[in-house]
Structure 1
Amino acid sequence: MGKRGIQLILATIVMAVAINVVSWGPPNFDKLEKWQTLMAGCLAIIAACIAYWGSSSQARLNERLHREELARRKLALFLKMDFACRLLADRAREIDAQTTFSPIDERQHFSHDDFEIEEPPEIDESWSHLDLFPRPIIAEIRTVRNDIRRLRYFLISIRDAAYYWDPAQDEAPFPFDRVNELASNLWQAAEAIAETLRPMITELAPEMDESTRFQLVYGLPPDGDY
């Protein structure tokens, strides 16, 4: 029940009492005796409505503050995740390109350092707050997290061996092919996360329009220059 509903109930009760009082004619307090129960009930209803409105107002305030705090948390996490995923996608896309096309002149030596990807701390933070993310990208966050670790463990497992990719080989040999598979999945998942979060970030924190931004940066033009 909202504020308007409570006001309507109170007005109805007051009007009913007023009509009955007026219908009695000149004041005769003896008649009040038989109305004591009704009047006590009306006062109880009024008191209950006032108490309800007070408690519900506090509940609505707490709910609004909770929504605002949740929106701030989501915005902060989404911004950090968007930035981290775009950097991650660029790095994984670079590795994908390096392991897709065969070398032109000289054979390519497999360097572990060239293909390592550090897990951004934002991934672990997001993993701890999956409830704040839309359901469609939770699987993508899982893919990013798992593939970074798979790549790291794979590179560790072959660290002591030497591998090369000769120009005569059109298709990527082992372990280039495995790195390519992981890097390809990784950048696609990271890109999907960033693109999904972008409109949500814009909704939570709309970007400044170009006109307002231009005025803030350069100021308003002098009078007569419009």
Structure 2
Amino acid sequence: MIPKLPGLGPLAALLLAAALSAWLGIAGPISIEGLYRWQNLLAAFAALAAAAIAYTAAMAKVKLDRQISDEQLMRRSLAILLKVEFAIQVLRQEARELEEKLGDWKNKSFKTVDLAISEPKEILEAWETLDLFPGDLILALRTLRASLVLYRTDLAKFDSQVEWESTTLASIKANPTSRASVAAKLLIQQSTDTITALRATITRLTNLLNRA
């Protein structure tokens, strides 16, 4: 354990005791008449000691309040991160299922609406609290969300009820199944990268809270 110096209160008390000891050693025992001449000095020392004690107590409360506030912020951040991490796992699974569906030769055609991948509401909620996230995680979420928005925008260019032949050879501008195949692979990779970043941050926050 690292030794700590006493606070201002104990130091003031020690200073007062030292001054009184020195005075008694020089001037001898205290007389009532002589005490009146020292009352202003004694009052000043008493006021200093009281102020030091009050200051120490106030700073201790400020430190405690800051610690409580920091812990509450970390717990809030952790709760958001856990929800986002779960939602992105679901998103990744949805992208994997779309990739498998497109790769199954038994599936000859798809309606545009069947190729959609929804954006989890947890990502939208996280977007409103980006100030709680570290920089690398913000970048990962931004990249993932940009891909989702771009894919949704591209699908919107096609009639949702029209059936399209499943192919990866056609231009992504001419056939939504080609666009879906590209999007599924990209979203799987980006989801995996984002989950990795999320789990690293979750572990760090959990360790900090356990040590608090």
Alignment equivalent of 1:80, drawn from 47, 68, 83: 83
Following the alignment from structure 1 to structure 2, what is the Cα–Cα distance between the partners of residues 19 and 124? 71
Query: Does structure 1 residue 68 correspond to structure 2 residue 68?
Result: no
Map of 2:6 onto structure 1: 4
Query: Does structure 1 residue 158 correspond to structure 2 residue 158?
Result: yes
Task: Please report how far the alpha carbon of residue 135 of structure 1 lies from its aligned counterpart in structure 2 after TM superposition.
Answer: 0.7
Query: Which stretches of structure 1, 4 residues or longer, exceed 6 Å deviation after superposition?
Result: none
Could you say what the CA RMSD is over the residues aligned between the two structures, in angstroms? 2.8
The answer to whether the 8 A contact 1:140-1:192 is kept is yes
The answer to whether the 8 A contact 2:109-2:164 is kept is yes
Alignment equivalent of 1:89, drawn from 88, 92, 99: 92
Map of 1:54 onto structure 2: 57
Task: Please report how far the alpha carbon of residue 85 of structure 1 lies from its aligned counterpart in structure 2 after TM superposition.
Answer: 0.9
Map of 1:128 onto structure 2: 128
Following the alignment from structure 2 to structure 1, what is the Cα–Cα distance between the partners of residues 181 and 40? 84
Task: Please report how far the alpha carbon of residue 70 of structure 1 lies from its aligned counterpart in structure 2 after TM superposition.
Answer: 1.1
Task: Please report how far the alpha carbon of residue 34 of structure 1 lies from its aligned counterpart in structure 2 after TM superposition.
Answer: 4.5
Alignment coverage as a number of residue pairs: 199
SS in 1 for 2:28: coil
Structure 1: tracts of 5 or more residues without a match: 207-226
Following the alignment from structure 2 to structure 1, what is the Cα–Cα distance between the partners of residues 125 and 188? 19
Describe how 1:1-226 pairs up with structure 2 within 5 A: 4-6=6-8, 7-96=10-99, 108-159=108-159, 162-165=163-166, 171=169, 173-174=171-172, 175-205=176-206
Structure 2: tracts of 5 or more residues without a match: 208-212
Range moving further from structure 2, 77-86 or 194-203: 194-203
Map of 1:216 onto structure 2: none
The answer to whether the 8 A contact 1:143-1:186 is kept is no
Normalization by structure 1: what TM-score? Answer: 0.74
Task: Please report how far the alpha carbon of residue 120 of structure 1 lies from its aligned counterpart in structure 2 after TM superposition.
Answer: 1.1
SS in 2 for 1:4: coil
**What percentage of residue pairs aligned between the two structures are identical?**
31
The answer to whether the 8 A contact 2:109-2:165 is kept is yes
The answer to whether the 8 A contact 2:85-2:195 is kept is yes
Opposite residue 5 of structure 1, the aligned amino acid is G
